[in-house]
Amino acid sequence: MMGPERSVGVALEGIGKRYGSAWAVRDISLSVGAGEFLSIVGPSGCGKTTLLRLVAGFVRPDEGTVRLGEQPVNDVPVRERRVGLVFQNYALFPNMTLYENVAFGLKAQNRSATEVRRRTSDLLEMVGMADRAQSYPRQLSGGQQQRIALARALAVEPRVLLLDEPLSALDAKVRNSLRFEIKRIQRDSGITMIYVTHDQEEALSISDRVALMRKGALEQVGTPIELYSDPCSLFAADFIGVSNLLKGESDGEGGFLWKGHRFILETPVERGPASLMIRPERLFLAPEGVAGANVIEALVQGRVFLGPITRFSCNVEGEPLLLDLLNVAGAGLKVGERVRLHFEPSDSCVLQDLKETVPEGVN
Ligand SMILES: Nc1ncnc2c1ncn2[C@@H]1O[C@H](COP(=O)(O)OP(=O)(O)OP(=O)(O)O)[C@@H](O)[C@H]1O
Ligand SMILES: [Mg+2]
CATH number at residue 182: 3.40.50.300
More confident position, 291 or 77 = 77
Single out the residue in 229, 255, 273 at which a domain terminates: 229
Report pLDDT digits (tens) over 13-40.
999 999 999 999 999 999 999 999 999 9
Same domain, 130 and 12: yes
Same domain, 220 and 261: no
Same domain, 131 and 192: yes
Same domain, 187 and 80: yes
Residue 363 resides in a domain: no
Residue 127 resides in a domain: yes
Single out the residue in 229, 264, 296 at which a domain terminates: 229
Residue 346: CA count within 13 A, CB half-sphere: 0
- Ligand 1 in reach of 19 Cβ (< 6 A): yes
Residue 27 resides in a domain: yes
Looking at 30-44, 173-187, 347-361, which range is the least confident one? Answer: 347-361
Same domain, 266 and 183: no
CATH of the domain at 274: 2.40.50.100
Q: Look at the chain and report how many structural domains it folds into.
A: 2
Contacts of 271 (CB under 8 A, 6+ apart): 249, 250, 251, 252
Q: Is the Cβ–Cβ distance between 132 and 106 less than 8 Å?
A: no
Same domain, 119 and 13: yes
Residue 187 identity (one-letter amino acid): R
Residue 212 resides in a domain: yes
Single out the residue in 198, 229, 260 at which a domain terminates: 229
In the predicted structure, residue 5 carries a pLDDT above the cut 90: no
For ligand 1, atom 25, which residue shows the shortest CA distance? Answer: 44
pLDDT tier at 171, thresholds 50, 70, 90: confident
pLDDT at 2: 44
- Among the residues of 17-77, which ranges form H helices? 48-56
Residue 342: CA count within 13 A, CB half-sphere: 14
Q: Which domain holds residue 293?
A: 242-353
Same domain, 64 and 97: yes
pLDDT at 16: 98
Same domain, 76 and 121: yes
pLDDT at 177: 85
* Ligand whose nearest atom lies closest to the CA of 163: 2
List, as ranges, residues with CB under 5 A of the ion ligand 2: 49
Return the bridge partners of 350, or none. Answer: 276
Same domain, 220 and 317: no
- Ligand 1 in reach of 197 Cβ (< 6 A): no
Closest atom of ligand 1 to 52 CA is 18
pLDDT tier at 156, thresholds 50, 70, 90: confident
pLDDT at 356: 52
Same domain, 132 and 195: yes
Same domain, 79 and 222: yes
Report pLDDT digits (tens) over 236-284.
999 999 999 999 999 999 999 999 999 999 999 999 999 999 999 999 9
- Ligand 1 in reach of 41 Cβ (< 6 A): no
261 alpha carbon – ligand 2 mean position (Å)? 43
For ligand 1, atom 28, which residue shows the shortest CA distance? Answer: 45
More confident position, 45 or 352 = 45
Closest atom of ligand 1 to 196 CA is 22
Same domain, 116 and 248: no
46 alpha carbon – ligand 1 mean position (Å)? 7
> Rounded distance, CA 21 to CA 93, Å?
37
pLDDT tier at 132, thresholds 50, 70, 90: very high
